[in-house]
């Protein structure tokens, strides 16, 4: 039953995983009727019982369909201990995740690092010089697997012998972009993972990127903005990070360069500016110390 409810949560975004769990506890194996769903406030009144019935049938069949999908990885459900605890705390957590690679890596301490697809040489250089400092402090990296800054994050993490996670805007069996296929394979072979909330076979679409970005920041303890334009996907990640109460670090860039206009705005609005590698290393060490203290005193941080 609970798997049915979580699948229904995927099919109806208004029926979130927490509601699914409550529904399962309250109603057991009873199929949802139009009257019951309306009473619970899960769906708009205009939605018909026929649609509900079709969706419920689709939810019942989904598990069988997924079991036949090649390369869909492991399915991790919201109610399982294997589900990343940071993502469980989100306002809009996914009902399940598909993971290819090492599932255990999702429970480590992450820095999310994001930036422009058409990035500058300055952004590339900073990552090449400083990723190792993140790894040496015991952090893992997470980004979106896209061209530009994302790809450099994953590549430099692997060069530093670290582990990294790619959060994808489509199915894990069809990682996007296809031009990064070899990179994705290296990520998995090196103990990292590909992760997505989208069903296997799902193609990346524009709307998926915005939704995906909340998982990039959500999986991490802090977010580093390497370079961001004013109207960019990176700024959407920043918004999600702030809503999730994540620390946000921003690299300053040269005035007049479009790919740094958003970054400079963030600094002006009060984001933590990181001016040098040493300054950033100190931030990493401070955050790691905070996490260790939290682990030693769980009752104080619950």
Q: Look up residue 48 and give its DSSP letter.
A: -
Cis peptide before 177 (omega within 30 of 0): yes
Give the residue ranges of DSSP H helices in 202-252: 206-219, 233-243
CATH 3.30.1180.20 is held by the domain 103-296 = no
What is the pTM (predicted TM-score) of this model? 0.86
Give pLDDT, residue 64.
61
pLDDT, one tens digit for every residue, the chain (302 residues)? 456 667 767 766 667 788 777 777 766 655 556 666 666 665 543 344 445 555 555 555 665 666 555 567 888 989 899 999 999 999 989 999 999 999 999 999 999 999 999 999 999 999 999 999 999 999 999 999 999 999 999 999 999 999 999 999 999 999 999 999 999 999 999 999 999 999 888 899 999 999 999 999 999 999 999 999 998 999 999 999 999 999 999 999 888 888 899 999 999 998 899 988 788 888 888 888 888 777 766 544 44
Is residue 11 within 8 A of residue 59, CB to CB? The reply is: yes
Give the side-chain half-sphere CA count within 13 A for 232. Answer: 24
Cα 300-94-91 angle, rounded to 5 deg: 50
Quick one: residue 77, left, alpha or beta (phi over 0 = left, psi -120 to 50 = alpha)? Answer: beta
Q: Look up residue 137 and give its DSSP letter.
A: T
Give pLDDT, residue 302.
42
Contacts of 74 (CB under 8 A, 6+ apart): 98, 99, 100, 103
Give pLDDT, residue 300.
45
Return the closest-CA partner of residue 219 out of 50, 68, 23, 87: 87
Domain ranges, ordered by start, for the chain? 2-68, 103-296
Query: What is the sign of the dihedral through the CA atoms of 72, 74, 75 and 78?
Result: negative
Give pLDDT, residue 201.
82
Give pLDDT, residue 25.
72
């Amino acid at each position: 039953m609970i798997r049915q409810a979580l699948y229904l949560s995927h099919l109806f975004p208004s029926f979130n995983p927490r509601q699914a769990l409550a529904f399962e506890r309250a109603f057991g194996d009873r199929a949802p009727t139009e009257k019951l769903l309306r009473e619970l406030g899960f769906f708009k009144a205009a939605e018909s019982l026929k649609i509900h019935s079709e969706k419920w049938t689709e939810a019942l069949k989904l598990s069988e369909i997924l079991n036949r999908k090649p390369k869909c990885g492991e399915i991790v459900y919201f109610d399982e201990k294997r589900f990343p605890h940071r993502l469980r705390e989100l306002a809009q957590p996914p009902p399940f995740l598909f993971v290819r690679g090492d599932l255990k890596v999702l429970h480590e301490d992450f820095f999310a690092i994001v930036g422009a697809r058409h990035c500058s040489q300055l952004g590339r250089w900073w990552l090449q010089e400083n990723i190792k400092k993140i790894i040496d402090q015991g952090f893992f990296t997470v980004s979106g697997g896209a061209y530009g800054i994302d790809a450099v994050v994953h590549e430099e993490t692997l060069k530093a012998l670290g582990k990294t996670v790619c959060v994808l805007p489509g199915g894990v069996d069809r990682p996007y972009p296809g031009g990064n296929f070899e990179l994705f394979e290296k990520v998995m072979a090196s103990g990292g993972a590909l992760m997505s909330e989208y069903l296997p076979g799902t193609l990346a679409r524009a709307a998926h990127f915005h939704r995906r970005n909340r998982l990039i920041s959500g999986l991490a303890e802090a977010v580093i903005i390497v370079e961001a334009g004013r109207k960019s996907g990176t700024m959407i990640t920043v918004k999600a990070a702030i809503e999730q109460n994540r620390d946000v670090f921003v690299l300053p860039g040269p005035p007049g360069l479009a790919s740094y206009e958003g970054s400079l705005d963030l600094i002006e609005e009060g984001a933590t500016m990181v001016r040098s590698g040493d300054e950033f290393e100190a931030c990493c060490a401070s955050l790691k110390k905070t996490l260790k203290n939290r682990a030693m005193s769980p009752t104080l941080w619950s």
